[in-house]
Structure 1
Amino acid sequence: MQTSKAFQEAYGFKLGDDVNICAAGAEVTTVESVILRDITPKLGTSDIPALDDENRAGWEWYLKEESLCRAEVIFAGMTFKNVTLTGPKRTFVIDFINAVLPELQLVNIAGIDQALKKLNDFLGNFHDVFPFPRQQKSCAVLLHGGHGYGKTFLIDQIISTGWGKVHRVKRDMKPPAIRTLFKDAKVSQPSIIVIDNLENLVSKEDSISESITEVLEEELDALVGGHSNPRTLPQVLVIGATLNANRIPMSLRRLRRFNEDILLPIPDSAARKAILKSLSPPLNPADPVDTLEKLGERTHAYTAEDLQKLLNKAYEIAMIARRGKSEAEAPESLYLEQDHIEQALLLVRPTAMHDITLQPPSVKWDEIGGQENVKEALRQAVETPLLHPERMARLGGAAKKGILLYGPPGCSKTLSAQAMATEVGFNFFAVKGAELLNMYVGESERSVREIFARARAASPSIIFFDEVDAIGGKRASGGRNNGVNVLTTLLNEMDGIETLKGVMVLAATNQPQALDAALLRPGRFDQLIYVAPPDLAGREAILRVKQRKMDMADDVDIPLLAQLTEGYSGAEVVSICQTAIDKVLKKCDQTGLELQLQMDDFKEAVTTVKKQITPEMVQ
């Protein structure tokens, strides 16, 4: 392989060196301006003075006409030796080339206005000359955000500008290969280095990850530190992407490295509407004009990718529905109908609700008999602050962070939390305290942190801790180190370095006296709602709800049955109904007849089901 002497000298190649030559992958661009530096005095010829202002203009013209214009290709570091004009021969090196490059800016990306502006401000640095001599800039930017938030999409959009050759750092690359990649990127400027899933390369506690971290630190430093013009950036853009910026070592977050980071947030209602409009689904013209507006309001916690999946599922449903029709029945134009979207919503869950989250059973308030005071208290505490925050702000109030439901077992605490989430349409994260303590040491705390992180991402949302006393017991009880650590984590999350905006924490316990006092301080579980055993009207309401789905004979006296169940919890009243059903089913099997539930069946069930609530529980 033959190369020009100028090329060899610029990049330090010597005869016998092993050199990897590869195609640049991009067209040679037109030059707009070139900065050359006279290095003659630095070559040891001390008797030759530096260029003065009087001769500078003549040298500029001569270098342009006789040196630059005669070269087919020029590159940073290229040297013109022993150039003669007047006086002694001089040597010049090309410090910087301002090529006519495609504009490195992104436009028309819906739903991420603030992040897009910050990214474009950073990309603009590659076209600027920095006015401040001590200003330190970096070639690297870190994109971070959850699954489906748009990191890969943004990287693809940058690549599609055609600004430079793309070099991808792959997961299985070893440190020497990464060094070679950076070297190739510098040679083939302008270029783009992409490091997707950066945390997979550098977050492990092993020698390979540590070596890769050191290589990235050195190469990022060298990009800026080794650039010949301190007022400009080398034309090498480095893009890192990660799910969690906290997993990137701080040594990689310093100046000249991934100092610039851009968080891609989960889309809010306005962003979701903008994303849906940009996707331009073919809606039926007969449908309301605000169909997408309403869909954007309903899709809490959906990312841009989730919304694309939702529409794709709706397209699939529409196609399947069309297949079942004859040519005469099938419409000429295929539209997305409201029903297609409704079906898709049942099938496509937001990414933030996967894995550790649990959707509640669909429970309506009218399915819970009695407890009217509890229902009203929850509506006031949850619906108003989260559904009407502007009203709360106008009055100078603040939403409560936590609500504790306490009372004897079986009195609808868990059902009330589920109904609250169902009625307001919030995402629901259900956790049993005892299950958290069954994990390995450290896993419980990590799970609590992850639940809160996901709830923030999926807001408006409700986190429900059932049996919270299992993790929130008094720390003085001793012997429960894991429980103490989990409690501390829970307190830290509720106090919040990160705000709990749009997140309500509900908890339930049968033993409020066992809770650590720290949980009940203002800013934590600062509203306590007592869920008492149902009174006479409450028990009758529970029986009326059950009656809707039961085949009862005319002799069943609901008010009398409510009196007979004095002192029973709501769950026990339901158990009485189920016991009566079991008895009648047994009679049906024995007689071969389809029998109804009789009053005597319920009376017998009352004697079978024992009361579990003791006087101490209701004190």
Structure 2
Amino acid sequence: MPDDLTLTVTQRPAALDARRGIVRLHPEVMAAMAVNPGDPLRLTGARSTAGIAARAEPGASKALLYADDLIIGNLGMRDGGQVTVTPIPVVEARRVTLTGPSEIVANVSPEMLRLALLGKVVTTGDDVSLLPQDVLPAADHRSLVEAARRSIANRVGYLWTSTLLSVVGVEDADAALVTMDTVVGWQGGAQSARSGAQAHDAAGPPATRGDAPASSDPETPPPSIDDLPGLRAQAQELTELLDLGFHHREVLGRLGTTMSLGVLITGPAGSGKAALVRAVAAGVGATVVPLWAPELAALANDAAAGRLREAIARLGGSTPTVLLISDVEALAPRAEPGPLATVFRQMLAEAVRSGAAVVCTTSRPESVDPGLRSPELLSVQLAVPLPDAAMRREQLVVLTRGMPLAEDVRLDEVAGRTPGFVAADLGALAREAGVRAALRQKEANAPSVTMADFTAALDVVRPTSMAESSLEVAKVTLDDVGDMAEVKQTLTESVLWPLTYPDTFARLGVSPPRGVLLYGPPGCGKTFLVKAIAGTGRANVLAVKGAELLSKWVGDSERAVRELFRRAREAAPTLVFLDEVDALAPTRGQATDGGTADRVVAALLTELDGVEDLRNVVVVGATNRPDLIDPALLRPGRLERLVYVPPPDEQARAAILRAAATSVPLDDAVDLDELGAGLIGFSAADCAALIRESALAAMRESLEAATVTAANVENARQRVRASLDPAQVAWLEAYAETHQPA
């Protein structure tokens, strides 16, 4: 086979590859071209670009090159065009210069930009995205890529997934691989330092090296404390600490004591931790020396230690100075700390002992080395909370201060529909609403932002805490659920009230229900009920099937449970839906899996009713076999409300048929009430399947059919059978009788 091939390019819709510079080939084609995963390829169409090779699925076509929309655009072609594919040697890029939207240039430092491009092959004139290349990362760069993903998302908000940058130039190469030694920079702006041992000498003066994201640059005006609603208590405490340490140490001397200015600030990503430090520092007349821990961790140990020494040396001048280290878990990880972590702790201890002010921030306190919290290091700890509805409204007032809002804009309603949003997310929401208003009123002399703009923005802006969730919430509510009035009332009281009216529960001095178990025959609407609750839009939804959390590796299952509830707390108010919960929490002492199930049950019980309070989080479990669930999970304080979802009766079946047939053109002769009366033993899923099969029967008769006739429905009736097992239904009804509240 020749070195180059002509293939047909086709767009690969997989989100995993999207805009990451990846192209996929059939494994046999790669073997014939002597190409390995991760090798660069020259792609020539209407113009020339490059990509990283990866294997396609075994069932893929050997004649196709699978690429994303970005690579197809860089080729100057459309889906289905002919592309010449040629292997090229790996050439490391010495210097890459880019340009992009002003808001991206202002918020993404060269170091962040380099991590976003790490492992990509770039060509002059290409468009590239900020999405890190996490499909084929080098083993020693995997943690850096993950850190880049979190930090860029925090800085830029939802824009990071859609923004495209232009490659202005690639020095001394036509197509080259971005590595940690590549100098990456903005056109006419800051550039990154090299990562190797030469970084210390080659980087230039501290003010031009890009030590931190541009938004932390000293020239950027610090925010006012008044512009940080919800953080005034933390700002007051930090102000008192820094003011005493910087301006009134003589009082401490007269009292015969000392103080430590080591502070650890924890809180959700994007909640304003760095902004809090900058605002307080400005208030006490101090300057801020920012460091981004993931960027230091990416350097060679000697270079990173040199950068740390430089930053700490700047704390000893006559001007009060605060060293701000963001995402400190990258320098001091809880798991597998390396030599750099030891050096960092030593330097931090020396700086704090000398009286310097060092503030570290993290959104993942569980991943930080516990030793950092010792009295001689970070002795003061401040927590930035997730904003509640009232706090979100205050933040929206600040963020929309310069916006001409229409009279119909109700910020209270926007705040109520943004559970789990932090300040950065609300800023992204306000920007998106403004963009939509501008697109709609390009020629207007006095444009304004309407409630419709905010509603449209809510459809695309997701909270940072839900970035890893791909759940699509259905546009249905409990009002769309026919019949089951008693079940809907119980769910409203047990699930919606605790998430919507937490203040009422607090005022009455009672704790809201912690969880609900839905049980009933298969196909009777348990999952649909949860979708209807989620469709109210008043809570974030984390959905997981019980078996998805189980792993054969020791400790992985328990960690998955802890991670699930950690995300739920961060995104509160949150609805956690555990489908097939009997697979996750079977009765202990009966499993033969080496104790994994028992440990998972213990972890689940601890999360639901342990020492750490589960605030504004409601758990809903669903099962067909409630008898298989560990009894400890069903006691008060856990899944305490047991709700039986019965099979539909005659009226309910007719209502389900009507709902399923909303978009189906039924002939006037089709009587759904009569049809529902005859569907004995049919579940809700069976009724929906009957309508679907009726439409298919009409298509079998004629692809030009305009309506579904009674004959088509009767034909489908012969094909679709009742799925309910009478014995199972009788057993579940008996179980409901013995377990219903007195």
TM value normalised by structure 1: 0.75
Q: Structure 1 residues 213 and 111 mapped into 2: Cα distance closer, same or farther (>3 Å)?
A: same
In the TM superposition, 1:477-516 aligns within 5 A as 477-480=590-593, 481-516=595-630
1:569 partner letter: S
SS of residue paired to 2:441: helix
- Tell me if 1:355 matches 2:474: no
- Tell me if 1:566 matches 2:680: yes
Show the counterpart of 1:310.
429
Q: Distance in 2 between matches of 1:167 and 1:369?
A: 57
Show the counterpart of 2:339.
208
Q: Distance in 2 between matches of 1:285 and 1:105?
A: 23
2:271 partner letter: Y
How big is the shift at 1:491? 1.0
SS of residue paired to 2:424: helix
How big is the shift at 1:437? 1.7
In the TM superposition, 1:175-194 aligns within 5 A as 175=305, 178-179=308-309, 181-186=311-316, 190-194=320-324
In the TM superposition, 1:74-153 aligns within 5 A as 108-126=227-245, 127-128=247-248, 129-130=251-252, 133=255, 135-153=257-275
Residue 446 of structure 2, aligned match among 325, 333, 340: 333
- Deviation by residue 1:245-294 (Cα, 9 ceiling, x = unmatched): 23332322122310111111111222212212222345556514x72333
- Deviation by residue 1:351-378 (Cα, 9 ceiling, x = unmatched): 1121036242222234333323221221
By relative contact order (CA 8 Å, sep 6+), the higher-ranking structure is: 1
2:353 partner letter: A
Residue 399 of structure 1, aligned match among 476, 497, 512: 512
Residue 438 of structure 2, aligned match among 316, 319, 332: 319
Residue 289 of structure 2, aligned match among 159, 163, 166: 166
Aligned length: 500
Residue 238 of structure 1, aligned match among 351, 358, 370: 358
Contact 2:260 2:353 in 1 (8 A): no
- Deviation by residue 1:569-604 (Cα, 9 ceiling, x = unmatched): 110111111111111111113xxx424222232233
Q: Distance in 1 between matches of 2:604 and 2:399?
A: 40
- Deviation by residue 1:224-252 (Cα, 9 ceiling, x = unmatched): xxxxxxxxxx3x22111111223332322
SS of residue paired to 1:473: coil
- Tell me if 1:447 matches 2:560: yes
Q: Quick check: 505-514 or 277-286, which moved more?
A: 277-286
SS of residue paired to 1:505: strand
- Tell me if 1:614 matches 2:725: yes
Q: Distance in 2 between matches of 1:370 and 1:105?
A: 53
Contact 2:406 2:450 in 1 (8 A): no
Contact 2:518 2:645 in 1 (8 A): yes
Contact 2:477 2:534 in 1 (8 A): no
Q: Distance in 2 between matches of 1:400 and 1:453?
A: 19
Show the counterpart of 2:420.
301
Residue 271 of structure 1, aligned match among 365, 381, 391: 391
Q: Distance in 1 between matches of 2:725 and 2:564?
A: 35
Contact 2:654 2:673 in 1 (8 A): yes
Contact 1:540 1:558 in 2 (8 A): yes
SS of residue paired to 1:428: strand
Show the counterpart of 2:579.
466
Residue 328 of structure 2, aligned match among 187, 194, 198: 198
Q: Distance in 2 between matches of 1:531 and 1:276?
A: 40
How big is the shift at 1:401? 0.4
TM value normalised by structure 2: 0.63
Contact 1:552 1:597 in 2 (8 A): yes
1:575 partner letter: A
Q: Distance in 1 between matches of 2:697 and 2:668?
A: 18
Contact 2:289 2:323 in 1 (8 A): yes
Contact 1:403 1:526 in 2 (8 A): yes
Across the aligned residues of Structure 1 and Structure 2, the Cα RMSD in angstroms comes to 2.8
1:493 partner letter: E
Contact 1:167 1:191 in 2 (8 A): no
- Deviation by residue 1:421-446 (Cα, 9 ceiling, x = unmatched): 21363211111111222575433322
1:212 partner letter: V
Q: Distance in 2 between matches of 1:466 and 1:179?
A: 52
Q: Distance in 2 between matches of 1:403 and 1:587?
A: 47
Q: Distance in 2 between matches of 1:167 and 1:276?
A: 27
Q: Distance in 2 between matches of 1:609 and 1:501?
A: 45
Q: Structure 1 residues 262 and 397 mapped into 2: Cα distance closer, same or farther (>3 Å)?
A: closer
Contact 1:407 1:617 in 2 (8 A): no
How big is the shift at 1:167? 6.4
Residue 596 of structure 1, aligned match among 704, 707, 715: 707
Show the counterpart of 2:645.
531
Contact 2:500 2:538 in 1 (8 A): no
Show the counterpart of 1:544.
658
Contact 2:286 2:321 in 1 (8 A): yes
Unaligned runs of 5+ in 1: 1-21, 26-102, 224-233, 324-329
1:193 partner letter: L
1:307 partner letter: L
Contact 1:358 1:429 in 2 (8 A): yes
Contact 2:223 2:278 in 1 (8 A): no
How big is the shift at 1:451? 2.3
2:673 partner letter: P
How big is the shift at 1:181? 4.1
Q: Structure 1 residues 342 and 439 mapped into 2: Cα distance closer, same or farther (>3 Å)?
A: farther
Unaligned runs of 5+ in 2: 1-203, 208-221, 732-742
Q: Structure 1 residues 312 and 523 mapped into 2: Cα distance closer, same or farther (>3 Å)?
A: same
